[in-house]
Amino acid sequence: MSLTQMISRNSSNIPLRARILLVDDNANGLAARQSVLEELGYRIVTSTSGADAFEQFSSHKFDLVITDYKMPRMDGLELISRLRKHTPDIPIVLVSGYVDTLGLNEISTGADVVIQKSSNEVSHLVRSVNRLLRRKSPPKKPAIAQVAAAGSKRKKG
């Protein structure tokens, strides 16, 4: 699907001018994702560190967060954990080159979507962002909450 097709599909049922926090310590990856998402009409705020991103998130409203996994001082998993404690229902996308290597997935990370960095990354990212911003059902609980809930169900049964 071309970028033009993605743009035209984006317009239906998505909040106008959704505000996205985009986090990556790699300036090239950050700029590329920002460019694509802005072309789709999203308002993008960027951050190059997890700590700075959490500070921005704490003082501004965002509709969705996209974060890289491997960053210095605060990695994407720690950022996701803090975001979930602050605003449990915020849609989160984790993008990483280590998805396959480390076995990262939605349950182990607490993200709503986990995307492997690859040549297909842009199309996966656009589809995921559009879907998450359209969804009406409650988001997934953080990974830690899911494990605790599963444990308590086993004890009762």
The CATH code of the domain that includes 21 is 3.40.50.2300
Name the burial class of residue 154, with classes exposed (0-12), middle (13-18) and buried (19+) by CB atoms within 10 angstroms of its CB: exposed
Whether the predicted pLDDT of 36 surpasses 60: yes
Whether the predicted pLDDT of 109 surpasses 60: yes
Find the mean pLDDT for residues 30-51.
Answer: 96
Whether the predicted pLDDT of 108 surpasses 60: yes
> CB–CB of 72/53 below 8 Å?
no
Whether the predicted pLDDT of 76 surpasses 80: yes
> CA dist 97 to 35, 37, 68, 83, 140, Å?
20, 20, 9, 22, 23
Chain centroid, CA 52 distance in Å: 16
Residue 18 phi, psi dihedral angles, 5° rounding: -55, 145
> Residue 117 belongs to what domain range?
3-156
pLDDT of residue 4: 47
pLDDT-derived band at 135 (thresholds 50, 70, 90) equals confident
- Other CB atoms within 10 A of residue 27 CB: 10
Whether the predicted pLDDT of 138 surpasses 80: no
Whether the predicted pLDDT of 79 surpasses 50: yes
Whether the predicted pLDDT of 113 surpasses 50: yes
The number of distinct structural domains making up the chain is: 1
- Measured CA to CA, the distance from residue 125 to residue 95 in angstroms comes to 8
> CB–CB of 140/106 below 8 Å?
yes
pLDDT-derived band at 14 (thresholds 50, 70, 90) equals low
Find the mean pLDDT for residues 128-144.
Answer: 72
Give the residues across from 114 on adjacent strands.
94
pLDDT of residue 17: 82
pLDDT-derived band at 90 (thresholds 50, 70, 90) equals very high
